[in-house]
């Protein structure tokens, strides 16, 4: 039988690492060695005065990596 993974939810956390008004993408992958162009977009937004946060639902792998991309 194949391996079954439980679906989980992960709190990515609060982040504020860009100038107010600048757009960002929160990227995710389970394979850290993939080029960034192959990572999936989990969330998009615009940096503001308050930290942003995100919850990643449907996490199926124990290893999950995140990255903020901003122009």
d(CA 28, CA 68): 9
**Domain range spanning residue 40?**
8-69
Instruction: Provide the 8-state DSSP code for 14.
Output: E
The neighbouring-strand residues paired with 13 are 54
Q: Which residues of the chain have pLDDT under 70?
A: 1-17, 53, 55-62
In a domain, 17, yes or no: yes
Is 3 part of a structural domain of the chain? no
Total domains in the chain come to 1
Structural domain includes residue 1: no
Predicted TM-score (pTM) above 0.75: no
User: Is 2 within the bounds of a domain?
Assistant: no
Handedness of CA 9, 13, 29, 38 (dihedral sign): positive
Among residues 5, 3, 11, the alpha carbon closest in space to that of 57 is found at 11
Would you say residue 19 lies in a domain? yes
């Amino acid at each position: 039988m194949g391996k079954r993974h439980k679906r989980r939810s992960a709190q990515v956390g609060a982040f504020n690492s860009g100038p107010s008004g600048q757009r960002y993408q929160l990227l995710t992958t389970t394979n850290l060695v993939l080029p960034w162009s192959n990572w999936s977009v989990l969330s998009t937004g615009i940096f503001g005065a308050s930290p942003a946060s995100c919850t990643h639902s449907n996490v199926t792998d124990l290893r999950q990596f995140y990255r903020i991309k901003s122009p």
